[in-house]
Amino acid sequence: MTALVALLLAPFAVLTLFFTIEVLAGLPRMRGGRRNRATTTSAVIVIPAHDEAAVIAATLRNLKEALSAGIRVLVVADNCDDATVELAREHGVEVLERNDSERRGKGYALDYAAAHLAANPPDVFMVLDADCSIDGPSLQALVDEVAKSGRPCQTVNLLRANRDGSPLVQVSTFAFMLKNLVRQRGLQRLAGRVHLTGTGMAMPFALFSASGQVRSSIVEDLALGLELADAGHAPKLVTDAFVWSGGAGEAGTMIQRRRWEGGFIATALRHAPRLALRSLARGDIRGLLAGLDLLVPPLALFALLNAGVLIFATLLTLVSGAGAWPVVVQLSLLTAAGFAVLLAWLREGREFMSLGALVRMPLYVLWKIPLYLGLARRGAPDEWLRTGR
């Protein structure tokens, strides 16, 4: 019976250990590379937009301040029924209108943009979501790194801090930072690669064009990054380049998390086991680590699953009289993981989450239960969702 309990806890022990190591590896800050202004590099920032009239004007206004020579903007208005097209054109950028009620979503919009640009391709193809902002130095750092490395590159993608928001919103913003800054930094150190997060990602146009049909899932960006890495073009984190997205209230945050986490879970289930097993068979340690990273669920779900299996294993141990060491080992690993998260808050998270919100993290986990029950019943969203901006 002890062996059975150990077998039950083993997958969670492996993922909890990896999560802890990855967070600890991501705590030290990384220096940005030397930047030699790439004046000869041409780039197009593609903004896929579906009914973004509420935000597109502010996004383009801020973006124009960040642009430099050789960088232009292309808005793809995908199945829009509002004033997105008119507002974008008022700001002097190129606009493509796409109308296809059967094939909807960001992936199709990006594929449409790539086909349009193929006749006169830029050196760098960049994607920025319609509600995001990037400053001039970050934009130049991203374009320069793509030009220098020839690899897909990802900025640090963060939600704007809102210390005046509810504890649940603050914890959600912190969890986003933990995943997209600390864990991405850790994965870069451990595996020499990161995952594409969708907005603030860029790559040589030739790579994007040759990568095959753009994924139409809600997190096609993540799938594209895996596809590129498998072809020998592993994405790289540009640690001195930042893209910021606006936060939301509790209701909007729930919609955001449903979209992001539902898509992530669906993509991870499709790709992570295969990536991990294939990398293990090949002796590819970096690929194995990337697969393990994908197998780690979102923070709240990871905590719920760990708590559930630990309680079940503890009851099974008490009833059967099995040895307690598997439960003790897993409890120790969870303690270490909690300590790593605390260190991440001390190092990077205090801007995003107050101490009061930190101690309420268990409530955040409970708050997410309806979301995960909904995903279990209905699956991941299959089209763009509004986030209650």
Q: How confident is the model at residue 272 (pLDDT cuts 50, 70, 90)?
A: confident
Angstrom distances, CA of residue 240 to CA of 60, 141, 196, 356, 386: 22, 7, 16, 30, 29
Q: Dump pLDDT digits (tens) for 287-342.
A: 899 999 999 988 888 999 999 999 999 999 998 888 899 999 999 999 999 999 99
The predicted pLDDT at position 149 comes to: 94
List the structure tokens of 166. 């509810």
Q: 279 in a domain, yes or no?
A: yes
Angstrom distances, CA of residue 85 to CA of 64, 96, 340: 17, 8, 46
Query: Shortest CA distance to 26 belongs to which of 235, 215, 293?
Result: 293
Q: 173 in a domain, yes or no?
A: yes
The predicted pLDDT at position 215 comes to: 42
Q: 41 in a domain, yes or no?
A: no
Q: State yes or no: pLDDT of 386 exceeds 50.
A: no
The per-type count for the chain, helices as H runs and strands as E runs, is 16, 8
The DSSP bridge partners found for residue 134 are 243
List the structure tokens of 139. 């934009």
DSSP 49-117: ESS-TTTHHHHHHHHHHH--TTEEEEEEEES--SSHHHHHHHTT-EEEEE--SSS-SHHHHHHHHHHHH
Q: Return the beta strands (E) in 168-211 as ranges.
A: 201-204
Q: Return the beta strands (E) in the chain as ranges.
A: 43-49, 71-78, 94-98, 124-127, 132-134, 153-159, 201-204, 236-245
Number of structural domains found in the chain:
1
Q: 55 in a domain, yes or no?
A: no
Q: How confident is the model at residue 106 (pLDDT cuts 50, 70, 90)?
A: confident
The CA dihedral of 214, 236, 178, 245, to the nearest 10 degrees, is -60
List the structure tokens of 339. 């300590």
Print the domain residue range for 264: 1-29+133-389
Q: 100 in a domain, yes or no?
A: no
The predicted pLDDT at position 68 comes to: 85
The predicted pLDDT at position 373 comes to: 76
Q: Dump pLDDT digits (tens) for 176-232.
A: 999 999 999 999 999 999 999 889 999 999 888 766 554 444 446 777 888 888 888
Provide, rounded to the nearest whole percent, the portion of the chain with pLDDT above 90: 54
Q: 214 in a domain, yes or no?
A: yes
Q: Dump pLDDT digits (tens) for 150-183.
A: 999 999 999 988 888 888 889 889 999 999 999 9
Report the C-alpha gap between 171 and 34 in whole angstroms. 34
The predicted pLDDT at position 107 comes to: 81
Q: State yes or no: pLDDT of 378 exceeds 90.
A: no
Q: Please tell me the total number of residues recorded for the chain in this structure.
A: 389
Q: 378 in a domain, yes or no?
A: yes
Q: 37 in a domain, yes or no?
A: no
The predicted pLDDT at position 214 comes to: 42
In this structure, are residues 243 and 138 in contact, taking their beta carbons and an 8 Å threshold?
A: yes
Provide, rounded to the nearest whole percent, the portion of the chain with pLDDT above 70: 87
Report the C-alpha gap between 65 and 263 in whole angstroms. 33
